Amino acid sequence: MVHTVPKVHLTGISKRYPGVQALEEVGFEIATGQVHALVGENGAGKSTLVKILAGVARPDAGKILLDGRMIEILGARHSASLGIAVVHQEFSLADDLSVAENVFLGRWSRGRWGTVDFRTLHRRAESLFQSLGAQLPLGIAARDLSVAQQQMVEIARALSMEARLLVLDEPSAVLSPTEVTALFRIIRRLTAQSVSVLYVSHRLDEILEQCNQVTVLRDGRHVSTREVAEASREQLIREMVGRPINEEFPARKSRRGETLLRVEGLTAPRRFRDVSFEVRSGEVFALTGLVGSGRSSVGTAVFGAVPHVKGELFVGGTRSTFRSPRQAKRAEVALVPEDRRRQGLLLERSVGENISLADYGAVSRFGILRVGRERNLAQRRIRELQIKAINPAVATATLSGGNQQKVTIARWLGKPCRIMILDEPTRGVDVGARTEIYSIINKLASRGTAVILITSELSEAIGMADRIGVMAGGRLMGILDNGNRSITQKLILELAVPTSARLESPSQGEPAA
């Protein structure tokens, strides 16, 4: 590490929200031209820190030095004008505007009559993407881009404002391994131009591989900052959680029983083709692949939520192609969807309501709710899954990601469940809650449920599954037996990434289901 004036120097940053001290005296340095990772469980204060840098929240106390000069960030625009660019988890693209228009959103090159000068606009966008080493079709509408491409547009926009500090908030949560590699290629181009990057992520693998320094936050406090070269995975997890975690993936005795799900030649137009596999009782079957490989669609198709599906589906031996989730539910099939905020939860409604959503039969008689029963049920689930909610009446939006995820799982635990499909159950979930979710999955399997675990994280597939199905380009490329947890990531990637595409830019995938 070169010891010059650090790019960013934070000291004593504190921020209090009603009822919670989000940050307390946090301080660390981000060196010039370095990639600095920021890790911590949900609620550790990462988001608050990002918000402060973005100018969305004001710290109660503390100093921020940028290039040695003390700054006070007054608002989002001010933050940008100071040279701080933040790419949030939720993208802020105008879906119907083109790539070029989005990059310079609101700052378009003007023509003579106040019209937009598209030629200049495209030229500027092109040179920007060139400097990033990425190629994007400039005229295409943002909604038609893959998630990775949309992220690229966000980054380009951030850089078009001549950022000196780029803050990336969980950028890899939506990316496939190849796309993450491409992202870091771009990040390195930036750091070469002495831009500093604050990289917020849950994924320790890529941090250990790709970042320079790493800072751990816990409960709003600074725990450690060190060179990545001196850090280990176990140590980081211990510091994040505050206690040692014996095993990230809790062990499970697999006891495979009869075949509960058999899929034959399942095909959904423009999503996936000719997918066949079977899952047994008590088994965890992982389905993995890059973004756009069709892994999510297969899950939703089995659940009856994808129209025009062809092929055969057998649940417990009986032929059953579901035409709606309702039918699937009746056959004791459950789905925890990929995007819990958009597809899983009624965010404004209470935890209790969200828990009874899939099983009103259990809390009603003749269509009339039995409020006491509903509350008891919710309280039981909250206890069982250790959901951190004061009572069932709190709005679901106030929970952390991990707890929200547990609510979407809790919904299906009330009734017998033969097949449980979990789509990215640990995305955006912190380490501690992750392990708890893995335990829930194990418990389900040991009760005889056939679990389909759809995941983009290879370590998760390897750590949890008995067998791993790998998808690419809408086809099931192969099924690997992982009986003794010995499959390597390389083996999976060889199936997931067609050899010809392995070195290309991340413009391949289309958005998943």
Partner 1 sequence: MSERPRHSVSSVLVAIRMPLILFLLMTASAILTEGRFLQIDNLVNVFRQVSLESLIAFGMTMVIVTGGIDLSVGSLVALAGVAAAAVMESLGTWSPTMRIAIGAVCGVMVGATFGGLSGAVIARLSIPPFIVTLAAMLVARGSAFILCGGQPVYELPGELMWWGRGFVLESWLGRLLPVPVLIMAGAYLFFLFLYARTVWGRCVIAVGSNETASYLAGIPVRAVKWSVYVVSGALSGLAGVLHDAKLMAGDPKVGEMWELNVIAAVVVGGTSLFGGRGTISGTLAGALIIGVLNNSLNLLHVEHFWQNVVLGLVILGASLLDAGLRRLNTT
Q: Which residues bind partner 1 (CB under 8 A)?
A: 17-20, 22, 303, 305, 324-326, 328-329, 335, 337, 342-349, 353, 356-358, 360, 364, 367-369, 371, 390, 394, 398, 411
CA 469, CA 447: separation in Å to the nearest integer? 22
Query: Least distance from C-beta 329 to partner 1, angstroms?
Result: 4
Of the pair 182, 407, the CB lying nearest partner 1 is at 407
Query: Least distance from C-beta 279 to partner 1, angstroms?
Result: 20
> Which residues are within 8 A (CB) of 310 and not within 5 positions of it... i.e. 6 or more apart?
265, 266, 267, 268
Helix, strand or coil, per DSSP, at residue 357: coil
Q: Which residue has the tokens 């969200």?
A: 354
Query: Least distance from C-beta 341 to partner 1, angstroms?
Result: 9
Of the pair 105, 357, the CB lying nearest partner 1 is at 357
The strand pairing partners of 20, in sequence order, are: 17
CA 175, CA 182: separation in Å to the nearest integer? 10
> Which residues are within 8 A (CB) of 268 and not within 5 positions of it... i.e. 6 or more apart?
297, 301, 306, 308, 309, 310
Query: Least distance from C-beta 124 to partner 1, angstroms?
Result: 37
Of the pair 326, 490, the CB lying nearest partner 1 is at 326
Of the pair 114, 367, the CB lying nearest partner 1 is at 367
Of the pair 89, 235, the CB lying nearest partner 1 is at 89
Of the pair 29, 170, the CB lying nearest partner 1 is at 170
Of the pair 42, 191, the CB lying nearest partner 1 is at 42
Query: Least distance from C-beta 295 to partner 1, angstroms?
Result: 17
Query: Least distance from C-beta 202 to partner 1, angstroms?
Result: 18
Nearest to 359 by CA among 432, 409, 294: 409
CA 376, CA 390: separation in Å to the nearest integer? 14
> Which residues are within 8 A (CB) of 460 and not within 5 positions of it... i.e. 6 or more apart?
249, 286, 426, 453
Of the pair 39, 305, the CB lying nearest partner 1 is at 305
Query: Least distance from C-beta 342 to partner 1, angstroms?
Result: 6
Roughly what angle, to the nearest 10 degrees, separates helices 118-132 and 177-192? 100
CA angle 271, 272, 275 (to 5 degrees): 155
Query: Least distance from C-beta 325 to partner 1, angstroms?
Result: 5
Full DSSP string of 215-264: EEEETTEEEEEEEGGG--HHHHHHHHHSS--S-SS--------SEEEEEE
Query: Least distance from C-beta 52 to partner 1, angstroms?
Result: 14
The strand pairing partners of 61, in sequence order, are: 14
Query: Least distance from C-beta 343 to partner 1, angstroms?
Result: 5
Query: Least distance from C-beta 20 to partner 1, angstroms?
Result: 4
Of the pair 121, 328, the CB lying nearest partner 1 is at 328
DSSP state of 341: I
Helix, strand or coil, per DSSP, at residue 346: coil
Of the pair 124, 411, the CB lying nearest partner 1 is at 411
CA 142, CA 95: separation in Å to the nearest integer? 5
Of the pair 165, 407, the CB lying nearest partner 1 is at 407
Distances (CA, A) of 435 to 216, 246, 312, 378: 19, 10, 35, 22
Query: Least distance from C-beta 348 to partner 1, angstroms?
Result: 6
CB atoms within 10 A of CB 392: 22
DSSP state of 30: E
Q: Which residue has the tokens 């939506």?
A: 174
Of the pair 177, 428, the CB lying nearest partner 1 is at 428
Please give the span between the terminal C-alpha atoms of the chain, in angstroms, as a whole number. Answer: 43
Of the pair 329, 381, the CB lying nearest partner 1 is at 329
CA 163, CA 33: separation in Å to the nearest integer? 12
Query: Least distance from C-beta 251 to partner 1, angstroms?
Result: 31
Distances (CA, A) of 381 to 194, 411, 428: 50, 9, 21
CA 391, CA 387: separation in Å to the nearest integer? 10
3-state SS of the chain: helix, strand, coil percent to 5? 35, 25, 40
